[in-house]
Amino acid sequence: MSAGEPYRVWAPTAERVELALADDESPTTGAGPTDFADVETTEPMTRGEDGWWTSSTLRTPGCRYGFVVDGGAPLPDPRSLRQPDGPFGLSEVVDPADFVWTDDDWAGVPLRGAVIYELHVGTFTDEGTLDAAIHRLDHLVDLGVTMVELMPVATYPGRRGWGYDGVNIWAVHPAIGGPYALARFVDAAHAKGLAVCLDVVHNHMGPSGNTLIDYGPYFTDAHTTPWGPALNLDGPGADEVRRYVVDHALMWLRDYHVDALRLDAVHALVDDSAVHVLEQMALETGALADELGRELLLIAESDRNDPATVLPPVVGGAGGFGMDGQWADDVHHTLHVLLTGETQGYYADFDDPAALATLSSTPFFHAGTYSTFRGRVHGRPVVPELTPGWHFVASLQTHDQVGNRARGDRLSHLVSPGRLACGAALLLCGPWTPMLFMGEEWGASTRWAYFTDHVDAELAAAVSRGRAREFAEHGWGDGVPDPQDEATFTDSVLRWDELTRPDHARLLDWYRELIRLRREVPDLGDPDLTGPPARREDSGLLVLPRGRCEVVVNLTGAPVTRAMSGELLAAWGAEHSDVRLTLEADGCAVVAVGISRDAAAERG
């Protein structure tokens, strides 16, 4: 809602709703529930037949307000764009029309050909703000990425956290700069040719500060999620709840000029409606893209291994959900097992030669096959002609795969620089849309752990105890960082001075070179999934066929001398030209890209 419009709120079961307005000198603590002594006036609101209540007062930018439902304490607006005191305080009117934009000519970035960079604003820089992150955009441009993915920016209690416990999901967290800072970040990114993807969470709300339940049937007992009650997407009152979710997505794309949304754990959006909420979101996003004349993308995180996630919806009949992309965790798991040798938990199935296919010819190792971790058959095969590789976002590291380890170990803590380089080559020369996790490109020495700042003392203690108990059962003992300890957060902040150190700089140059090669050699980024899968040679070398190119890495653990490398390259000589021995590290890792003579001729 913009300035000059009346205040409105959906509260279909309320008998009475009042608008609460504050004076201009209200306190800003953000520490927890307030006594709302700053509320100056209240005004009865008028109920409409659709359950929406409307005020006679018009919205004014900067005004702080809340809604009183049936005589209770003032509550924040479910669609609040700013919570200066956090979830327990009043909302503040923000008019998106006040954002200053310079990106009128921006047309967006297609997912095909994109290289994504995932970052957490709070630990990306020492300052931990969106404005500080702007000053690091040149690093990303120089690296060669095309899209920056921000982990969730929604407001939650406290100052530090991953963002997945948001409760005011329309409001940008004040600790990272608030709504105007996000607008500045997006505008600055566009000025440098970078698209912005925002991670959003619709499948649950955080455990503290959620007031949606006071307004109406936002949740249902008919379904559950791993985090508690499910959002009501298909029961009585679901129409407005679905509108809340879809409007939330459209708001970021329209008002903040965001280019893409990463939708968290969409398999937990339980919806038995004929038109799934994801399909509805995809159709309305497509219409908005046509209206704005720029590329808008939806990328889903899904645990279902189902290509229907990225198949287009079919109006009037069965079809897909219409997402543009989805995360391909099976590719990550295959790479992780290859590089580290770890086979515990869900990694166990990926210690299988057949898993190599996920590196080049299918995003799903489990595609109607038995998963020992789940104890059942899982997934569905892809049809390469319908879902080429660019629809699937693959990675070596993500916030989940790093942060959910007991100590937040990165791959740089688990394997040698040479094996890191091999993993990067397999990822960045594959048919998938590659995504990097912040600091990966230079082998950051900082761990990235699970950290929280719950202001509810009982909840905070429970989280600390639960984390310690969970990993103690797996033999980690007392070495698990306490999520509530501020040091767990500060130890996760990137150290940018590492870029000047030779080993880190060398790996960074390698990432730059791989991204450049991917861009310049079409076969390396070709999303076609009909070619031969990756294979192991008798020598133990791993070969990734890429059209008329081949990428070869040595993961045998045995030294490969330059003479042996010369023999390898000589063996290719009859079929390949422009063969590049691009890196040799630790005396045991060789990565080469061989381009066929025909392909080289086409390049001129």
The DSSP call for residue 405 is S
Identify whether residues 169 and 24 lie together within a single domain: no
Average pLDDT on 78-106 reads: 96
Domain stops at, among 34, 66, 98 = 98
507 touches 417 (CB < 8 A): yes
> Binding site annotation covers 167?
no
CATH number, residue 309: 3.20.20.80
User: Does 292 show up as a binding residue in the annotation?
Assistant: no
Residue 122 lies in a domain: yes
Q: What is the pLDDT of residues 283-295, one digit of tens each?
A: 999 999 999 999 9
Place of tokens 């800072």: 181
In terms of Cβ atoms closer than 10 Å to its own Cβ (0-12, 13-18, 19+), residue 280 is buried
Q: What share of the chain is helix, strand, coil (3-state, %, to 5)?
A: 35, 20, 45
pLDDT band at 26 (very low <50, low <70, confident <90, very high): very low
With respect to residue 461, please indicate whether it lies within any of the assigned structural domains: no
| Euclidean distance between CA atoms 357 and 530, whole angstroms | 11
Q: Catalogue the E-assigned strands of 264-391.
A: 297-300, 325-327, 369-371, 376-378
Q: What is the mean pLDDT of residues 563-580?
A: 49
> Is pLDDT above 70 for 204?
yes
Q: Is 259 annotated as a binding residue?
A: no
Q: Rounded mean pLDDT of 79-96?
A: 96
Say whether both 63 and 128 belong to one domain. no
Of the residues 264, 279, 324, 526, only one is catalytic, namely 264
Q: Which helix (H) or strand (E) holds 9?
A: strand 6-10
Q: Is 168 annotated as a binding residue?
A: no
Nearest 5°: phi and psi at 254?
A: -85, -55
1 belongs to a structural domain? no
Residues 93 and 160 occupy one common structural domain: no
398 in the same domain as 547: no
User: For the chain, how many structural domains are there in total?
Assistant: 3
At 168, the amino acid letter reads: N
**Residue 543: per-residue pLDDT:** 86
HSE at residue 79, side-chain half, CA atoms within 13 A, is: 21
Cα R_g (the chain), whole angstroms = 25
Contact 122, 453 (CB under 8 A): no
Active-site position among 38, 187, 234, 301: 301
Alpha carbons 21 and 312: distance in angstroms, whole number? 46
Where is the domain boundary, 71, 98, 125? 98
The tally of CA atoms less than 13 A away on the side-chain side of residue 37 is: 5
Q: CA-to-CA distance for 411 and 399, rounded, in angstroms?
A: 12
Strands 195-200, 260-263: pairing is parallel
Structural domain includes residue 108: no
Q: Give, in degrees to the nearest 5, the angle at Cα 422 between 418 and 427.
A: 145
CATH value at residue 90:
2.60.40.10
Is 330 annotated as contributing to ligand binding?
yes
Q: Is 183 helix (H, G, I), strand (E, B) or coil?
A: helix
272-284 confidence digits (pLDDT tens): 999 999 999 999 9
Co-location of 493 and 536 in the same domain: no
Does residue 315 sit in the same domain as residue 409?
Answer: yes
**Given a cut of 50, is residue 355 above it in pLDDT?**
yes
Both 63 and 121 in a single domain?
no
- The answer to whether 403 is annotated as binding is yes
Q: Which domain range does residue 524 map to?
A: 509-603
Report whether pLDDT(171) > 60. yes
The answer to whether residue 602 scores a pLDDT higher than 80 is no
Size of the chain, expressed as the number of residues it contains: 604
| Residue 223 sits in the same domain as residue 366 | yes
Of 63, 98, 133, the residue that ends a domain is 98
| Distance linking the first and last C-alpha atoms of the chain | 55
Identify whether 170 is part of a domain. Answer: yes
Looking at the fold, whether 80 and 139 belong to one and the same domain comes out as no
Q: What is the pLDDT of residue 41?
A: 87
Instruction: Confirm if 20 and 67 have CB atoms less than 8 A apart.
Output: yes
Q: Which residues, 6+ apart, have CB-to-CB distance to 509 below 8 Å?
A: none
Share of the chain above pLDDT 90, in %: 74
Residue 526 lies in a domain: yes
- Do 70 and 125 belong together in one domain? no
**Average pLDDT over all residues of the chain:** 89
Would you say residue 354 lies in a domain?
Answer: yes
**pLDDT in the model for residue 563:** 41
Q: Please say if 264 is a catalytic residue.
A: yes
**pLDDT band at 573; cut points 50, 70, 90:** very low
User: Do 71 and 161 fall within a single domain?
Assistant: no
Q: Is the residue at 103 inside a domain?
A: no
Strands (E), 191-251: 195-200, 219-225, 228-231
Pair 249, 178 in one domain: yes
